[in-house]
Structure 1
Amino acid sequence: MSQIDIFTLEIIQNSLQAIADEMFAAMRKTAMSPIIYEVLDMGTGITDARGEIASSGSGIPAFVGVLDKAVKQILVHHSQPGEIEPGDIFITNDPHSGGVTHLNDVVLAMPVFVDEQLIAWTANIAHWNDVGGMVPGSLSTDAKDIFQEGLRLASVKLISRGKPIRSVMQILQANTRMPDFMEGDLWAGIAAVRGGAGRLAELARKYGTSLFLRAVDDFMNLGEKVTLKALEDAPRGRFNMEEPQDDGQVFKVTVEIKDTEVIVDLRDNPDQAAGPTNLSRDGTVVAAQMAFKAVTAPQAATNGGTFRPLKVLTRPGTLFDASAPAAEGFYFENLIRVYDLILRCLATHLPDRLPAGNFASVCATIIGGLHPDTGRTFTLVEPEIGGWGGERGRDGNSAMYSGLHGETYNCPVEVCEARYGLYVDRMELNDEPGGYGKYRGGRGIRVDYQVRSDGTFLTCGYTRSKVPPWGLEGGTDGSPNYVEVVRTDGRSERYSMVSGLILNKGDVIHVRTGSGGGYGDPSERSLEAVLDDVKNGYVSTELAEKFYGLRV
């Protein structure tokens, strides 16, 4: 077979990235929910015909690892000839059957055909505000099984040869408390996969299907080569980590780094929970992939070849390989626990590559009720931002999303107040103590939401509320994540996990996210940096004296 010239390869490979980004832009600009068009709780991607990820758009990094697994399960469920045809679009959200995360995250996938040959898939995933279940917003800390969390869709055909299947559309409409938002977000996702599929078909026809497929395979092989190159100077051996959690459980991991393979062993962990904090095996693999990418080649492109050297071991029936019908609504907290556990395990062995611990929680904040101005049902779904750990040579970033959420944004105050029945009284950096070091941890945030109508509810899922972000190389631990509710009569209540808490007009929800851990001995921090910290409100004069030895 003749060699493909490097220029053509580069053009095709960069075209894949451009198409994925175009899909992302199309979905962002046409979605109805702020959680998608403002926060960007979404992701887009392209897989090859077998379901291996070939390219991805912006958005949540963890979602890149979801799309390939969803497509592979669609291929399993529709393996008979004629079951997958041009113009079809499939929908899935079941974490026990290809959906990977939880029922609110809905995947749409479209096969791409050229001359009746399946050459690729376009896919996207986005958080839908409500998919039924026992509470508005579909996320309940009281859920005991997945049936209580909403509508399950396991590789269901939504559109057949370009025409919507009316009965499926009716089922979707009947199983959400916010059908108008659901429909708007659904068609935004459909537009994105259709647009991407058209672009891919054009690309394959321009260069020829055979050349296109070879270029995709070459791109996969390049991903593997980049990873193996990055592993060359990594330390060899078996590394272990145990970490206590907020609820008293202990999570354990063993990471073994070999010449051409990295093995992450999570088998020795607690059995699956009766509540909604379980993680599917696919979800655990996603967490391991994110950590693996962080310590190998974080700046390089990601595709199916990137993760060929990674092997993940789990035990069925555990928190990290939950069996049906386990509830998984708050899966994201244990996904980020796995990610953070692996990074902590390796941080002391890779000090040039990894920082101290970050606030490491999605800090999912869900507030819903009736909008006092319009009478319409609203549901705010807001992952919160927090502080990252210091690292060798620099302070940690303040007010950033966790590693799970990546390229996403907080909802602007103006949009929040217009679309939701709330006032945002305060949004600023959190000045609670923590994260001191030669290089300090970044600060978390403090946000105050004032409730405007009786009968509003609060649901939240925070971890690192008791066990703070860890310091590194002598730095101090960061500060915790939590929510404080202040009632109109002055009573104060503190939460990290709560579901459907009823609030009334005038109550205030104080969100507090943590600072990252410090890096290095605080006494080695420069006087100029400490004075800047005091000036900018990162540390009080009293704490500057205590941790940095400064005399004011």
Structure 2
Amino acid sequence: MTQGTGVDPILASVLQRRVDAIAKEMATLLMRSSRSPIFNEIGDLVTVLFDAKGRALAQAEFAAIIAFGAQPPLEYIIEYFGDDIAEGDVIMHNDVYTGGNQNADTGVYVPIFHDGRLVAWAAAKGHLADIGGMTAGGYDPAAREVWQEALRIPPVKIYEAGRLRKDVWDLIAANIRLGFVMEDVKSMYGACTVGKRRLLEVLDRYGDDVFDRHMEYILRGSERQVRAEIERWPDGVYRGESEMVSDGIDTTRRYRVACEIRIEGDEITFDFSDTDDQAPGFTNMPPASAAGAVRIAFLMLIAAGGVVVPTNQGLFAPVRTVFREGSLFNPRFPAATVFGNQMCDEIVECVMTALAEALPDRVTAGWTKFISAILHGEDPRTGDPFVTLTVFQRNGPGAMLGHDGWDAFGFTGTAGQMRSPDPEMFELTSPHFFEYHEYLPDSAGAGRWRGGLGTRSAWRCYGEHEVGVTNGEGVEEEGAVPARGLFGGHDAGLNRMSVELPDGSVRVWGSKDMVQLPPGALVRAQSWGGAGYGDPFQRPAELVVAEVRDGLLSPERAREDYGVVVDTEQWRVDEERTAALRGNAVKETVS
């Protein structure tokens, strides 16, 4: 026992791992019992255990932007219902104006009682394939207000004291196009039920008081670890910027994203007050989503230092976020916001840019902003409607000191944990056929440590009345700014999407653009890699040769970007010509 606390550190460690295992079991059950590929293939979801106050104890995040958006709604639920919470209640919520991060990201919350006392909450939250609104799937650049995007669900009990509220259930179901969505809601409830049962087993064994004391110890321990880490960072005020190109209405419109980061002792503040005012369309980000994006960037910085902290509420106790009302990251009601999660890219870029000089060993070079598409229509094989996400499009992250960027990592908002759907499952569950899906050669920004490779994909469409909406950034034709290299590393490239129509004509597909996809249309997508870190001429020549041999890097780019001449017959470095190139570059730099 720790003297004076009644806490056994070993038991605390056991309990911390137990609640973590419960959260992961909940996620496994949700993925295996759900109907939508968005859940069971992609894993666009999170499961969480909270204490009675709504503080996160453990979570299994597949989509981190959702994971860190699960707690704000619970705060509102607790305030909204007050003492009107009973054993057997099940509460549903998605409303971005009462704590939600995206209307499609819908949560199910179950209170957990032990010996008649509210002791905890179990939650499952995920991206539902449809949640009403004027367009299937919810993504429409024409949306100007929240009611056009989705059915708003403020906290509502779908079960009350163990009894299904059939009127409420039917009201929600009547506003959703896809029948299997409500089956996915049942899976979310089932995941919470398993979490509840497992936690009650722990409480029966150890008792409420022992459990509460040890969880408090764990939360404070996480906070102490993080505060100690922040204290090592240099105090100061740091500023960074990013840019969003196109708002779905005007493709030439530019929005400035700006943050001021203040490090003061063991606390850190991320202030986005100077960010531009909210957009007229759907490219706004609710505060819960924006705060989640800040947490993702912050965790990248923490993890880069080798600090391992349990993912709970204590992890973010020293972190403060500021989002000005009326700005892109805190729009005034009733602004449309479905694009918001995607703006995690801008927030991460802002943070990394701001702290590059202060924390050069923690930051990453620029990530090429993510782009994907939401496809919906009618499947001619079944006559049923479908909605699917093309998150198999994978960009590369930026490199960092000592490490290349991971290849085909994907979107910053998922922290690499949300999966790409299996190509065969994509074809099986929606009317499409893959032509190819592979690494995009020469897409990694050069550097002593190169960026991660991007991907290129092509798929043919066979849906009836099919429509696609792009959901992203960084498109070449719109004049976007490439992800920036750091400390001599080269910038990344830009994304490109196009649709080859059955008549042979080609339509460029913008970043936030709705297009008709007639049967036989072929979509081509290039998702670029990340930017480089450090002087490319300092990269070991043998690594360059290996990547040329593997087809990831062309001999021309090896010579131009890295100063390495590759003998492609012997697969070795042409020492003399390489020395001449690299030597001349060094002389020019010195002079």
Alignment TM-score, normalising by the size of structure 1: 0.96
| 8 Å contact kept, 2:7–2:217 | no
Moved more, 302-311 or 345-354: 345-354
Matched ranges for 1:410-425 at <5 A: 410-425=420-435
Counterpart residue type for residue 551 of structure 1 = V
| 8 Å contact kept, 1:462–1:482 | no
1:413 is displaced (CA, Å) by 0.8
1:463 aligns with 2:500: no
Runs of 4+ in 1 over 6 A off after TM superposition: none
Partner of 2:125: 125
User: Which stretches in structure 2 are left out of the alignment for 5+ residues?
Assistant: 247-253, 567-591
Partner of 2:190: 191
The 1:91–1:210 alpha-carbon spacing in structure 2 relative to 1, beyond 3 Å, is: same
Residues in 2 aligned to 1:217 and 1:381: alpha-carbon distance in whole angstroms: 40
| Percent sequence identity over aligned pairs | 28
Partner of 1:447: 457
Residues in 1 aligned to 2:77 and 2:58: alpha-carbon distance in whole angstroms: 19
Residues in 2 aligned to 1:390 and 1:11: alpha-carbon distance in whole angstroms: 36
1:497 aligns with 2:511: yes
Partner of 1:65: 68
| 8 Å contact kept, 2:379–2:464 | no
1:7 is displaced (CA, Å) by 2.1
SS of the residue 2:428 aligns to: helix
Partner of 2:526: 512
Partner of 2:390: 382
Partner of 2:586: none
SS of the residue 2:484 aligns to: coil
| 8 Å contact kept, 2:435–2:458 | yes
| 8 Å contact kept, 2:444–2:452 | no
Residues in 2 aligned to 1:385 and 1:164: alpha-carbon distance in whole angstroms: 41
| 8 Å contact kept, 1:458–1:498 | no
Residues in 2 aligned to 1:273 and 1:60: alpha-carbon distance in whole angstroms: 25
Counterpart residue type for residue 530 of structure 2 = G
Partner of 1:371: 379
Counterpart residue type for residue 438 of structure 1 = R
| 8 Å contact kept, 2:105–2:128 | yes
| 8 Å contact kept, 2:446–2:531 | yes
Q: Pick the aligned partner of 1:400 from 392, 403, 409.
A: 409
| 8 Å contact kept, 2:242–2:347 | no
Partner of 1:171: 171
* 1:58-105 Cα shifts (integer Å, max 9, x gaps): 4112222112111111011111x3x11011110000111122x21111
| 8 Å contact kept, 2:290–2:344 | yes
1:75 aligns with 2:78: yes
The 1:473–1:266 alpha-carbon spacing in structure 2 relative to 1, beyond 3 Å, is: same
1:454 is displaced (CA, Å) by 4.4
SS of the residue 1:138 aligns to: coil
| 8 Å contact kept, 1:135–1:500 | no
| 8 Å contact kept, 1:462–1:481 | no
Counterpart residue type for residue 382 of structure 2 = T
Matched ranges for 1:240-319 at <5 A: 240-247=239-246, 248-297=254-303, 299-319=308-328
Residues in 1 aligned to 2:66 and 2:545: alpha-carbon distance in whole angstroms: 41
| 8 Å contact kept, 1:91–1:153 | yes
1:489 is displaced (CA, Å) by 2.7
Moved more, 221-230 or 290-299: 290-299
SS of the residue 1:497 aligns to: coil
1:262 is displaced (CA, Å) by 0.3
Larger CA Rg, structure 1 vs 2: 2
Counterpart residue type for residue 125 of structure 2 = I
| Superposition CA RMSD, Å | 1.6
Residues in 1 aligned to 2:550 and 2:224: alpha-carbon distance in whole angstroms: 45
Residues in 2 aligned to 1:375 and 1:432: alpha-carbon distance in whole angstroms: 42
Residues in 1 aligned to 2:292 and 2:243: alpha-carbon distance in whole angstroms: 22
* 1:252-309 Cα shifts (integer Å, max 9, x gaps): 1111111121011110111111111111122222122222222124632111111111
Partner of 2:251: none
User: Which stretches in structure 1 are left out of the alignment for 5+ residues?
Assistant: none
1:422 is displaced (CA, Å) by 0.5
| 8 Å contact kept, 2:65–2:341 | no
Partner of 2:572: none
Alignment TM-score, normalising by the size of structure 2: 0.90
Counterpart residue type for residue 121 of structure 2 = W
1:207 is displaced (CA, Å) by 0.7
| 8 Å contact kept, 1:142–1:499 | no
The alignment covers a number of residue pairs equal to 547
Residues in 1 aligned to 2:61 and 2:68: alpha-carbon distance in whole angstroms: 13
1:431 is displaced (CA, Å) by 2.4
